[in-house]
Structure 1
Amino acid sequence: MFGCEWDDQTGETNAFDQHGYDGEDFVSLDLKELRYISPVQQGIPTVQKWNNEKSSLDYWKNYLSIECFDYLKKYVQYGKSSLEKTVSPQVSLLQKDPSSPVACHATGFYPIGVTINWQKNGQDHDEDVDLGGIVPNEDGTFQVMSTLNVKPEEWKKNKYECVVEHKSRTTKSVLTEDKIKTNYESLPIGIIIGAVAAVLLLVVIGVAGYCVYQKRKGFKPVSDSDDGSNSSTHTDPNA
């Protein structure tokens, strides 16, 4: 593993060239002393060999001291619009039914750093809270959900708030009945239409399959000895 690090705020830099074996440190380059070192006895023969290869040492000194940082700064500039892009989260309060827990769902935010917490009457509330992991969306943004496991009568007589803090902004959603969406209501219309279409397709396939089955069930093959129009042998009347 080799590379370089650059802090564009302080200007601090760091570079490294490290080798491992079986999950353990094996050999690494001391850039200041310009020599390889090993924390284990087994790496000494490799260290001795590489330290005698002056042309290789000079190459890594030049790459890790100059070239690597030139590339890094160039790529940071190329990706600056993406790296500095911020998209605010869309926050919704979701509930499956009137007696189920309430979930605070934040989605569509970028970059990934976000905190989502509950407050009760202005104070942080960590009890009866299940926090899910941050997961990616198809468009490159992220989403996260935190569920409040308290009875409706509890949050109706107290002031509960879901607080979502992101680089772009801080969003507070007060838990009230009029702000809650059911899971069905929160589904995109495209998903609902797709689900209905899928059910209709299954019904059509089922009916078609049943008809084919009934036809096959009533079909009786005609033996070679049978006469008449059901025979599988056809004669040209003009022959």
Structure 2
Amino acid sequence: MNRIVMLLFLCHAAYAGKAVKHSLKIFFTGSSGLETLPEFEAVGEFDTILAVYCNKSTIRATQDWAKKVLDPGHEQFKFLEACCFVSMPAFFKFEIDEIKQHFNQSAGVSVFQRLAGCEWDEETEELTGFLKYGYDGEDLIKFEPQTKEWVLLNPQAAFIKQSWDNDPKDKEFNYDMITTYCHMWLDKSLDIGKSSLLRTDDPTVSLLQKTPSSPVRCHGTGFYPNTALMFWRKDGEEIHEHVKHGDVLPNQDETFQVHVDLDISSLTLNDWPSYDCVFQFSGAEDKIVIKLDKDVILTNFGKNKFQYLLSSTSFSFRLELLYHSNHFSSLTPDGSILQETLSQHPCCRTTTSPSASLLQDHRSTASIPAAGPLLHHQHPCCNKSQTRSAVIAVISVLLVIIVAASGFAAYKKKNERPYTPTSNTSLL
């Protein structure tokens, strides 16, 4: 088993990142009882960017620099091949069978996982290695490099700890793998892929707001690497009260995004100039600063009913909705639709048109823009007759103009340019 574990980590062909800290993480997963997934697969990440994938029959590098590191002619590729095709599948199958037997599990789905790797701080030159195992979504046991001992994370894994504690050579091997060798692979990957891994992409920073009373979100996207800071300041000093930080998340183009919200419910307009949002890469002096200003905040709040219909329905259906509807719609602060029938309002006692349900049916299925709720609309009940007459008149005139223009264009084209058969269109 010691040889299996040795080859298991030799396949940690590495990948790293940019800025102050670089990390290599390898995620291994073995399973049983899942027909739709491979029994074994692994992914290697460099600063959360996927660099390599493998299972029992496939090895695939997802980055150009990783393809160079994993050239089939290099010795490290042979280690990876033995690891993915032979050693690791056998190791994970053995451990799953052992755990299932200990837990009296004869059937069902079982998932055994391993996370291994290291993080390197360029400024402090501190290296932190990590190695941890889990089963069915719960942590089982981890290796502590400072003491070179296995630490129990789940009492049910005591039998695993007892077995692994009796193998001192394996402990030394694991220590070397998550320190010395992991660091070596990080350096190798940085050297080969430095044009990509050591780049810096600045973000686009914007202020977003759902409604005038909602928190103001400072949002940065498109930056690389992921070691970045974003925070709100008041009078040049970072603040934490009334501030909510979001996680750094990956984009599909291998860049990242992050946001931080500021609750402005207790602020007056005179307070706003004191606040600003700052984006800064870790360890860098340059900053991107954006002031809290209503003029720069992006929002879709304030769109009226006609704008909403224009953006969500076809032209002919929009005309039908506007012409026949006896309904009006507003969006409540939580984004839900509030529907009322004008004929049921106390100041409006008219007969509802049979076509009035068109708008209600459409509104119940229309998608609401994700950026936030729209502006409440002024209640049209008290001037219903004037408003509806004006709408009907305008729509009627538009229809006449459109139909007349279309007919005239078609007539002119037909009479001025008669059809003349050519050699390509005439019948033989």
State the TM-score, normalizing by the size of structure 1.
0.52
* Equivalent residue for 2:276, pick from 157, 161, 166: 161
Partner amino acid, structure 1, of 2:197:
L
Q: How does 1:1-239 map to 2 (within 5 A)?
A: 2=9, 23-24=140-141, 73-151=187-265, 153-158=267-272, 159-167=274-282, 169-183=286-300, 196=311, 200=314
What is the distance in 2 between the residues matched to 1:138 and 1:155?
38
Q: Which moved more, 1:97-106 or 1:165-174?
A: 165-174
Query: Structure 1 residues 137, 69: closer, same or farther in 2, change over 3 A?
Result: closer
Query: Structure 1 residues 42, 101: closer, same or farther in 2, change over 3 A?
Result: closer
Q: How many residues align?
A: 179
3-state SS of paired residue (2:268): helix
Cα deviation per residue 1:149-179 (whole Å; 9 max; x = unaligned)?
1138525434111111125631111111212
What is the distance in 1 between the residues matched to 2:164 and 2:266?
68
3-state SS of paired residue (1:23): strand
What is the distance in 2 between the residues matched to 1:127 and 1:18?
36
Partner amino acid, structure 1, of 2:214:
S
What is the distance in 1 between the residues matched to 2:301 and 2:294?
16
3-state SS of paired residue (1:144): strand
Preserved CA contact (<8 Å) 1:101 1:147: yes
Task: State the Cα distance separating 1:45 from its structure 2 match.
Answer: 8.2
What is the distance in 1 between the residues matched to 2:292 and 2:268?
11
Partner amino acid, structure 1, of 2:278:
V
Query: Structure 1 residues 183, 83: closer, same or farther in 2, change over 3 A?
Result: farther
Preserved CA contact (<8 Å) 1:89 1:107: yes
What is the distance in 2 between the residues matched to 1:177 and 1:16?
46
Preserved CA contact (<8 Å) 1:93 1:181: yes
Preserved CA contact (<8 Å) 2:209 2:216: yes
What is the distance in 1 between the residues matched to 2:229 and 2:192?
29
What is the distance in 2 between the residues matched to 1:97 and 1:41?
56
What RMSD over aligned residues (CA atoms) do the two structures have, in Å?
A: 4.8
Preserved CA contact (<8 Å) 1:98 1:152: no
What is the distance in 1 between the residues matched to 2:118 and 2:300?
45
Query: Structure 1 residues 156, 76: closer, same or farther in 2, change over 3 A?
Result: same
Partner amino acid, structure 2, of 1:174:
K
Task: State the Cα distance separating 1:14 from its structure 2 match.
Answer: 9.7
Task: State the Cα distance separating 1:140 from its structure 2 match.
Answer: 0.8
Preserved CA contact (<8 Å) 1:101 1:149: yes
Preserved CA contact (<8 Å) 1:38 1:44: no
Cα deviation per residue 1:26-60 (whole Å; 9 max; x = unaligned)?
9x9xxxxxxxx989998898898997xxxxxxxx8
What is the distance in 1 between the residues matched to 2:261 and 2:129?
43
What is the distance in 2 between the residues matched to 1:184 and 1:89?
25
Preserved CA contact (<8 Å) 1:128 1:149: yes
What is the distance in 2 between the residues matched to 1:144 and 1:177?
21
What is the distance in 2 between the residues matched to 1:152 and 1:42?
55
What is the distance in 2 between the residues matched to 1:107 and 1:85?
16
Q: Which moved more, 1:172-181 or 1:64-73?
A: 64-73
Query: Structure 1 residues 78, 150: closer, same or farther in 2, change over 3 A?
Result: same
- Percent identity, please: 34
Preserved CA contact (<8 Å) 1:89 1:166: no
Query: Structure 1 residues 113, 157: closer, same or farther in 2, change over 3 A?
Result: same
Task: State the Cα distance separating 1:123 from its structure 2 match.
Answer: 2.6
What is the distance in 2 between the residues matched to 1:119 and 1:96?
21
Tell me what 1:236 maps to.
Answer: none
Query: Structure 1 residues 77, 161: closer, same or farther in 2, change over 3 A?
Result: same
3-state SS of paired residue (2:195): helix
Query: Structure 1 residues 118, 155: closer, same or farther in 2, change over 3 A?
Result: farther
Task: State the Cα distance separating 1:20 from its structure 2 match.
Answer: 10
Q: Which has the higher contact order (CA 8 A, sep 6+)?
A: 1
